[in-house]
Amino acid sequence: MPIESVNPANDTVLRVWSEMSEADLDVTLMAASQAQEFWASLPFEERALPLQALSEQFEQREAELAHLMAQEMGKPLPQGRAEVLKCASACRWVSENAADCLVDDFVDLDGERVLLTYRPLGLVLAVMPWNFPFWQVIRCLAPASMAGNGMLLKHAPSVQGCAEAMAEMTRDAGLPEGLFANLTLDEDRVGRLVARPEVAAVSLTGSTRAGSTVAAAAGDALKKCVLELGGSDPYVVLEDADIDLAVQCCAKSRLQNSGQSCIAAKRFIVVDAVRKDFTARLVAFMESQSWGDPLGADPVDIGPLARRDLRDALHEQVRKSVLSGARLLLGGKVPDGPGAYYPPTVLAGVQPGMPAFDEETFGPVAAVVPAVDEEHAFGLANATPFGLGAAIFTADAERGARLAADHFQVGNCAVNTMVMSDPRIPFGGIKASGFGRELGANGFREFTNLKTVRFPAV
């Protein structure tokens, strides 16, 4: 079936691609396997060169790639440029640090020595989402390729133009032909692809439902997988918090990428002593944010959602939450006209049992959850199937760090700032937010065979 790229700002079809045939897929997988065998034989310093060139490609094509993301998934241009430059920075850091992160180690064992060495697995199938079309790919491609693996990219159909640009840049940067393969496939073929003998491992970023499906296929085939799935990140605001700072960080996190981020703040759990003040300032901030076409005459803070069906699903979550007792303080109405727009929205009095509390909301919707005190706040924060990120706001940052470490049931925490990914530190979730880690030294090692070699000590 054809794969369409549609501009969510005006519903215009940008381009239509034909799906790859099984014969073409066979040829692509054979070429990728051969390229990976050659690539794995190269030393780190030679693998680093194409990645450094890819970093330069991102820097040189910053404006072009930001424009492409604005077209295909509605990302505001400044955020698109920031994503491109983050990819450049990650490629550079990964190329410079892979050898240290994957260095051989030795253990003395009762008169023997043991070599611990990391070896590539082969071809990694990367099933990637539309919300960060380049960053999601790079944070898998860069460490996996430096570890000696190849990548098969199955990108979201709606950002196939970004996928093609990614493939073009890897070729221009000097990666061996076939090592990075862009597969133009529909989602219903992913399960069969996972089972192919050429595929050694799988990395997926996406919804919990998609992760469950792919994990089942990987389990059936006994293949390693790393999953970064949805989140309903709680941001806890304590009585001694700097309210202005808390509002700025909470709103910025909630609105990044027009609210379409797994690690966006989604539930603002605020103790009663400061909740009224926090809520008033949050509404004022959210109301001040401009929204519209990211390629229009005026710059905007928030673009359209990526698709109309996603916008409609978000509105249904808001509607059902209000019917269940939440108070609508701002937004919450679907605009007339073309495009997948949804205005900045604030819900107050959100409680467990409401969609805005129980489910992941993927859009510019802030849910303020009342908490009696600190203990109640942490109980609410963890009352979710998700476990991706969380933040806490308090005047005592060191105490906040201890509270975050001891009480949040998530993979990523922040104190007095927003949760962010960074190529230098591990990133990932627990519970329904997935398993495994990307980035940092751990990210290099996820797609390697940790091989143990015993030999007599001399």
Catalytic residues: 228, 262
Distance separating alpha carbons of residues 276 and 457, to the nearest angstrom? 69
Q: Which two tokens stand for residue 233?
A: 């990140």
Q: Is 392 in a helix, a strand, or coil?
A: strand
Residue type, 408: F
Instruction: Enumerate residues 6+ apart whose C-beta is below 8 A from 38.
Output: 176
Q: What are phi and psi of 156, to 5 degrees?
A: -60, 135
Per the CB < 8 A criterion, the answer to whether 274 and 380 are in contact is no
Which contacts of 325-334 are long-range, i.e. CB under 8 A and separated by 24 or more positions?
325/349, 325/351, 325/354, 326/350, 326/351, 326/354, 326/356, 326/367, 329/279, 329/283, 330/283, 330/286, 330/287, 331/286, 331/364, 331/365
Whole-number Å distance between alpha carbons of 9 and 305: 8
Of 233, 250, 234, 253, whose CA–CA distance to 242 is shortest? 250
